[in-house]
Structure 1
Amino acid sequence: MYKHLLIATDGSELSTKGLDHGLELAKQLGARVTIVTVTDMWASGALAAAGPATIAEYEESMRDAVKDILAEAERFATQSGVPHETLHIPNRYAADAIVETAQEIGADLIVMASHGRRGFRKMLLGSQTTEVLTTSTVPVLVVR
């Protein structure tokens, strides 16, 4: 069935549920996983006016956060016994990066979490999951 899952995470409690679910599915299927986290570029541009020290501090903070997110994800994957690799995609819009990466690595399933917002809140807040669902040619499993 599925042989290579891409699991997207941002380190939040909700995305950790998606990670756990994806790892359990991969274990049952004997599949391997690529765990992906994406950092957006919009904040870097907003900080440009603040000066080089602030940009450097921001970038260092983002590197530390990504390191922690992927270390925790790797720990979960190792404990579950699932063959895995981790990947950080910097300076990209998350939905685009997830869809493109799934295609590039030959993933046959994307696993990610969603808050399940509806109506006006969804319109205001947007949803990376919705974007992935509407643009991906790879099947997507959404965990709530």
Structure 2
Amino acid sequence: MFKHILFPTDGSPASGAALHSAIKFAQEAGARVTALHVIPEFHIFTYHPEILEDTRGVYLKDSEVHSAAVLDEVAQVAADYNVPCDVVQRRSDQPFDTIVATALDYGCDLIAMATHGYKGVRGMLLGSETHRVLLNTPVPVLVFRPQ
């Protein structure tokens, strides 16, 4: 039924917990996986603009190294399960938009992602990328809840 699954990950414990379940699901479905990590854009406000270039460069390098490590973990787990896996890095301040766009651009027929499970005031303040994806995608979404 599903042949190409997008697995967006933020590298959090919730995403890590969902990783094996998502890859096992892909294996059982005979699907391939595209892992996505969305890197936040660099932002800073200062009255000393000359310090920004060095700071921005360090942030860009460090965020790409972190993203590569997160995606390498997904690729390794996929390899352990013999599931074909591609990795994608994107930069955006709107991860849900990037997740939906990537699923459509890559022809994914399922998005499998974790939720942090925030409720109440914490959920209202922090928001939920998973919820935003659910509201904005035509692609089915499989949500892994934290244990």
Q: Using structure 2 for the length normalisation, give the TM-score.
A: 0.90
Corresponding residue for residue 22 of structure 2: 22
Q: Does 2:62 match 1:84?
A: no
Size of the aligned set, in residue pairs, is 142
**What stretches of structure 2 of length at least 5 have no aligned partner?**
none
Which amino acid in structure 2 is aligned with residue 46 of structure 1? I
Q: Is the Cα–Cα contact under 8 Å of residues 18 and 143 in structure 1 kept in the other structure?
A: yes
* Structure 1 segments (4+ residues) deviating >2 Å: 47-50
RMSD (CA atoms): 1.4
Find the aligned partners of 2:72 and 2:11 in 1 and give their Cα distance. Answer: 10
- Residue 122 of structure 1 corresponds to which residue in structure 2? 123
CA distance in 2, matches of 1:93, 1:40: 8
- Residue of structure 2 equivalent to 1:99: 100
Percent same amino acid among aligned pairs? Answer: 37
Aligned-residue offset at 1:116: 1.4
More helix by share: 1
Residues 92, 98 of structure 2: 8 Å contact kept: no
**Contact 2:6 / 2:111 at 8 angstroms: preserved in 1?**
yes
Structure 1: gaps (5+ residues): none
2:44 maps to: 46
Length-normalised TM-score, structure 1:
0.92
